[in-house]
Amino acid sequence: MSDEEDDLILSDLNDEELVEQMFDDLYDGLKEEIEEGVNILLERGWEPYRILTEALVGGMTVVGKDFRDGILFVPEVLLAANAMKGGMAILKPLLAETGAPTIGKMVIGTVKGDIHDIGKNLVSMMMEGAGFEVVDLGINNPVETYIEAAAAENADIVGMSALLTTTMPYMKVVIDQMVEQGIRDDYIVLVGGAPLNEEFGKAIGADAYCRDAAVAVEMAKDLIARRHNQRAAG
Ligand code: B1M
């Protein structure tokens, strides 16, 4: 690291420069700097959601591109993910601070064979912030875990995340098993993850594909409201 970089004082940067620097720090896996950047933006009055999307998710997109292109490798991406999680941990309680009453319960996990959890964690945070109760099943979940947890938690929503083209078909295994057990309609099934699209969501029988965490919240609210209305009418 050059002396110039060594001396860099994050709080001296304007917002745009700071976000740019946070992209670099995320890329370099510098957790403490990311945490400091998040705190500075909060002090400057940025909304937690804006910090999450513009500074953290934005930075991770750059990491993703260079990972795809073979410029970054797994160890570096793990460090970047760790730095991102440091920033997310600061934002989590703030996003959940809306004080909204619980409007539904969701169990969510990454599917079997898949260990990516940043997107899932982000969805969990945003759902909690919107007033949902969330039970996070973690990563690498077999079908039994989803089904048992949904029943045990009396969940309204089953959420599944997959980041690999090789693991996304597993979502259909879970839904097919729910159909087989006659419990499919007991739950709203939401799916998401970078390689998915709307067509895939429909093809596997999910209630909705969610492009990002904000869409997941909207879909969940919408589908819960529809369910309540249907029940009230029936
Ligand atoms: Co992985 N990885 N990775 N990786 N990784 C991808 C997914 C990849 C696209 C990179 C690339 O090549 N460009 C590629 C997949 C290619 C493919 O399948 N076509 C890939 C690969 C190949 C792999 C390995 C196989 C690499 C290897 O070992 N050779 C390996 C697989 C391990 C496994 O799972 N079995 C692997 C490992 C890893 C790390 C461990 C290093 C790390 C994960 C760390 C962690 O999650 N704790 C990692 C990372 C970080 C990535 C990238 C760079 C970033 C993913 C991420 O966190 N994005 C990723 C490239 C990319 O996606 N651009 C890549 C940020 C996050 C906020 O976005 O997860 O899309 P995302 O979530 C969004 C939406 O998709 C949606 O909302 C979220 C928030 O807006 N959403 C949901 C997600 N889940 C949802 C669930 C819902 C609703 C919405 O339910 C209701």
Query: Domains of the chain, with CATH numbers?
Result: 3-98 (1.10.1240.10), 105-233 (3.40.50.280)
Neighbouring CB atoms inside 10 A of 226's CB total 12
Expressed in angstroms and rounded, the spacing between residue 74 Cα and the centre of ligand 1 is 11
Question: CB neighbours of 30 closer than 8 A, spacing ≥ 6?
Answer: 83
Protein residue closest via CA to atom 13 of ligand 1: 68
Give 163 or 100, the one with higher predicted confidence. Answer: 163
Q: Residue 74 belongs to what H/E stretch?
A: helix 74-95
pTM as predicted = 0.87
For residues 189 and 206, give the distance between their C-alpha atoms in angstroms, rounded to a whole number: 5
Expressed in angstroms and rounded, the spacing between residue 161 Cα and the centre of ligand 1 is 10
Express the helix, strand and coil content of the chain in percent, nearest 5 each. 60, 15, 25
Give the position, in ligand 1's atom list, of the atom nearest the Cα of 167: 18
pLDDT tens per residue across span 126-141: 788 677 899 999 999 9
In the prediction, which pLDDT does 144 show?
98
pLDDT tens per residue across span 84-136: 989 999 998 888 775 556 789 999 999 999 999 999 998 998 788 677 899 99
Question: CB neighbours of 134 closer than 8 A, spacing ≥ 6?
Answer: 105, 106, 107, 108, 124, 127, 128
Q: Greatest CA span in the chain, whole angstroms?
A: 70
Expressed in angstroms and rounded, the spacing between residue 81 Cα and the centre of ligand 1 is 10
Expressed in angstroms and rounded, the spacing between residue 58 Cα and the centre of ligand 1 is 14
Protein residue closest via CA to atom 70 of ligand 1: 194
